[in-house]
Amino acid sequence: MREELKGIFASVFGEKEGLRFFFAPGRVNLIGEHTDYNGGHVFPCALTMGTYAAVALRNDGLVRMYSDNFKDKGIKECSLDDIRYQKEDDWANYPKGVIYEFQQRGCSIPHGFDIVFLGNIPNGAGLSSSASIELLMGVVLQSYFHPEMDALELVKMAQHAENDFIGVNCGIMDQFAIGMGKKHHAMLLNCDTLDYEYSKLDVSGLALVIANTNKKRTLADSSYNARRQECHDALLDLQKALDIVSLGDIKPSDFDAHSSLIQNETNRRRAKHAVYENHRAIKTARMFKENNVDEIGRLMKESHLSLKDDYEVTCPELDELVFAAWDHEGVIGSRMTGAGFGGCTISIVKDAFVDDFIQKVGDRYQQKTGLKADFYAADIGEGARELKGE
Ligand code: GLA
C-alpha cells in the first residue's frame, strides 16, 4: 500500500522527502443498532479495510487534498486561515471538518500539508467510510502537532465535526469503533458513560461475512434525524413518570409496564426498539463470552425484525438478503448493520459453508431484487493509527 500511495502522491503533488503514512479502518456493528444516540449499548468492531493516507508537510498554510477514490473531483485546496464547509468540496469536507474542530478547540495547526487518500471501503455501504476519513485526519493532526491528545479525544472531535460541520446528527458509535478498534475484538460500548469493554471474537469455526445490498441509500439522513426525534419525544413522555435521562436507562420489563405513557403509537414502537435493542447488545456480548452461538443467532434475528417492524429502517433489499441468509444451513445469525435504508448485512457463517453461502444467498438475492450483492470477509483489525513499518 505504501508503494501505491507513494506513486499516487508523486504523480499528484510531485516527489517529496519525509512522507508519512496513516490508516483508519471502517467498522461493522454486530448488534446494538440505533441505540448510541439513545444512551444505550453498541457492539461494533473495526475492520481491516479502511482508508490510507500519505502526508507531507508544507512550509505555508495551504492544505491540498486528493482522493484516489474520487479522481474526477481533482485536488481540493484550502487555507488554514479559512476552513469552512463548501458544498463543491464534496468528500473533502470530512477532513476539513476535523481541521476546523482542532482549530475551534484552540489546538494550533502550524503548517499546511499535502495529503493523498486511498480507501478500500465501499462508499455509501454503511461501513463508515466517512468516519474513517475523519479519524484518519484526526490521527494525522495528532501525530504531527498534538501527540498529547488521546484517542478518545479524537473520537469526540470527529463526531463533533460530523454533527456540526457536516450536519449529520450521528451518535458516537462509528467514530468510537474506528478510533478504538482492536484486532480480533469487538467492543461493548456504553454510549452514555463511554465505558467500554473489549470482547475477543474467537468463535472457532465461524466466519463473519458482510453482504452489501448495493441498494443506493435514499433519504437516509432525513429519516435518521426523524428517528432521533421520535425517540426523544417518547423519552419526554416516559419522563413524566420515570426518573430516567435516556432510553438506555430502562429495562425492557419497566418499559413494558410504562409504555402506555407514550402517546403516539409510532413513537412507542421506536422506543421499544431502542430499549430492547440495548438489552440485546449487552446480552449478545455475554453470549460471545459463553460461546453460546445459538443464542447469538436468535438475538440477531430479533434485532433485525425489530429494526424492520418497529424501527422501520430496513428496506426490501436488506430484508431479502437477511431472509435468504436465515434459510441457509451454514448460518448462525444474520441482520442488517449500520443506519439501514440500504447498505450491508452482517452474518455469522460456519467456515465450511462460506463459499456456498455466498453463492446461494447471492443468487437468491439477485433473483428476487435484480441486484447483485457483494460479499466481504469481515476481518477485525486495529483502530486508526500512523503506519510505522507496517
Ligand atoms: C449510523 C450512525 C451511528 C449509529 C448507526 C445506527 O451509522 O452514524 O451513530 O446511530 O447509524 O446504529
Higher-confidence residue of 237 and 217: namely: 237
* Ligand 1 mutation target, pool 36, 133, 175, most atoms within 8 A of CB: 36
Question: How confident is residue 5, by pLDDT bands cut at 50, 70 and 90?
Answer: very high
Distance 338 CA to ligand 1 centre (A): 6
**Tens of pLDDT, residues 76-88:** 999 999 999 999 9
Distance 32 CA to ligand 1 centre (A): 10
Higher-confidence residue of 201 and 10: namely: 10
Question: How confident is residue 53, by pLDDT bands cut at 50, 70 and 90?
Answer: very high
Q: Is the pLDDT of residue 162 over 80?
A: yes
**Tens of pLDDT, residues 338-355:** 999 999 999 999 999 999
* Ligand 1 mutation target, pool 174, 246, 307, most atoms within 8 A of CB: 174
Question: Global pTM?
Answer: 0.96
Distance 252 CA to ligand 1 centre (A): 22
Q: Which residues are part of the catalytic machinery?
A: 174
- Please give the share of the chain, as a percent, with pLDDT higher than 90: 93
- pLDDT for position 284: 98
For atom 9 of ligand 1, the residue with the nearest CA is 171
Q: Is the pLDDT of residue 211 over 90?
A: yes
- pLDDT for position 389: 75
Question: How confident is residue 231, by pLDDT bands cut at 50, 70 and 90?
Answer: very high
Mean pLDDT of 248-269: 97
Residue whose C-alpha cell reads 481541521 in the numeric block: 99
Mean pLDDT of 315-342: 97
- pLDDT for position 220: 64
- Please give the share of the chain, as a percent, with pLDDT higher than 70: 99
Higher-confidence residue of 68 and 17: namely: 68
Mean pLDDT of 43-72: 97
For atom 8 of ligand 1, the residue with the nearest CA is 170
Question: For residue 215, which of 34, 340, 128, 131 has the smallest C-alpha distance?
Answer: 340
Nearest 5°: phi and psi at 113?
-160, 160
For atom 2 of ligand 1, the residue with the nearest CA is 170
**Phi-psi region at 288: left, alpha or beta (left = phi > 0; alpha = psi -120 to 50):** alpha
User: Is the CB of residue 353 less than 8 Å from the CB of residue 330?
Assistant: yes
As a whole number of angstroms, the distance between CA 11 and CA 114 comes to: 12
- pLDDT for position 219: 60
What atom of ligand 1 comes closest to residue 29's alpha carbon?
12
Mean pLDDT of 282-308: 97
**Tens of pLDDT, residues 10-21:** 999 999 989 999
Task: Output the average pLDDT for the chain.
Answer: 96
Mean pLDDT of 21-41: 98
Residues with CB under 6 A from ligand 1: 29, 33-34, 36-37, 170-171, 173-174, 338-339
Distance 222 CA to ligand 1 centre (A): 13
* 3-class DSSP string for the chain: CHHHHHHHHHHHHCCCCCCEEEEEEEEEECCCCCCHHHCCEECEEEEEEEEEEEEEECCCCEEEEEEHHHHHHCCEEEECCCCCCCHHHHHHHHHHHHHHHHHHCCCCCCCCEEEEEEECCCCCCCCCHHHHHHHHHHHHHHHHHCCCCCHHHHHHHHHHHHHHHHCCCCCCHHHHHHHHCECCEEEEEECCCCCEEEEECCCCCEEEEEEECCCCCCCHHHHHHHHHHHHHHHHHHHCCCCCCCCHHHCCHHHHHHHHHHCCCHHHHHHHHHHHHHHHHHHHHHHHHHCCCHHHHHHHHHHHHHHHHHCCCCCCHHHHHHHHHHHCCCCEEEEEEECCCCCCEEEEEEEHHHHHHHHHHHHHHHHHHHCCCCEEEECCECCCCEECCCC
Question: How confident is residue 323, by pLDDT bands cut at 50, 70 and 90?
Answer: very high
Question: How confident is residue 45, by pLDDT bands cut at 50, 70 and 90?
Answer: very high
Q: Is the pLDDT of residue 124 over 90?
A: no
Question: How confident is residue 324, by pLDDT bands cut at 50, 70 and 90?
Answer: very high
- pLDDT for position 326: 98
Q: Is the pLDDT of residue 204 over 90?
A: no
* Ligand 1 mutation target, pool 132, 173, 246, most atoms within 8 A of CB: 173
